[in-house]
Structures are given as C-alpha cells and as structure tokens.
Amino acid sequence: MIFMNWHTRHEKEAIRKYHGTPQQKYGYDGTIRGRPVEVRETRKDDRYRIQEDVHRELVRHGGSYIFVNGRETKRVPAREVSDKIGRGPWYKDRTYPHKFLKKDQVF
C-alpha cells in the first residue's frame, strides 16, 4: 500500500475532477488532454505560490493551473496567470524563485 500525504491526495483528486492524469514524477502535477497542469492549494494563507520554473514550463506547453479553495476548484490557463502575476521580479527568499497570486484574483 502506498501512503499519500494530504497534499498529494488532494492534488490527484483535483486533477481527476477535470478528467486529467496525475503524474508520478518531479515537475508539474499531471496532464489534462496531454497538456501539463499544476495544482495550487493553500490552507493558511490567502495567496498561492507560483514557482518560476514550473510556470515557464506550463506556459511553454499550453498548460494550466487548478486552484483549490476549500472544496471549490477553478482551472486557469497558465498564460492568464502570467497576466495576473505581472512582469516584475521573482522573489528569491527560498531555494526557488516564486511569485504570489491572491485568492481573490482567482475566485
């Protein structure tokens, strides 16, 4: 029996809800109709963290994000997320560059 943590289980459920296939590898979380998809979920914050390397991969391949807010989900094309996060610099206070997208920008 394979143990899945809370976050991984919710990612897989969100991808299947949109008739996609979860991935078992490093990188984006799955595919929908052959295009990459990333699940972003937050429980304690009012914003989603967007990783630069994954975001660029999603944009390059016509991918999308599935944002989770409690039981509500919304699928948004990565190019649309680019417009929402803007062209400014990426934060570098972690081991990977990132930006934030607030919940009210999605829902």
Name which residue leads in pLDDT, 87 or 2. Answer: 87
**Amino acid (1-letter code) at residue 63:** G
Q: Look at residue 6 in the predicted model and tell me its pLDDT.
A: 55
pLDDT digits (tens, 9 = 90+) for 39-75: 999 878 899 999 999 999 999 999 999 999 988 999 9
Give the right CATH number for 6-106 from 3.40.1350, 1.10.10, 3.40.50, 2.60.40: 3.40.1350
Look at residue 34 and tell me whether its pLDDT is greater than 50.
yes
Q: Look at residue 1 in the predicted model and tell me its pLDDT.
A: 40
Rounded Cα distance between 75 and 68, Å, is 9
CB-based contact 40:65 (threshold 8 Å): yes
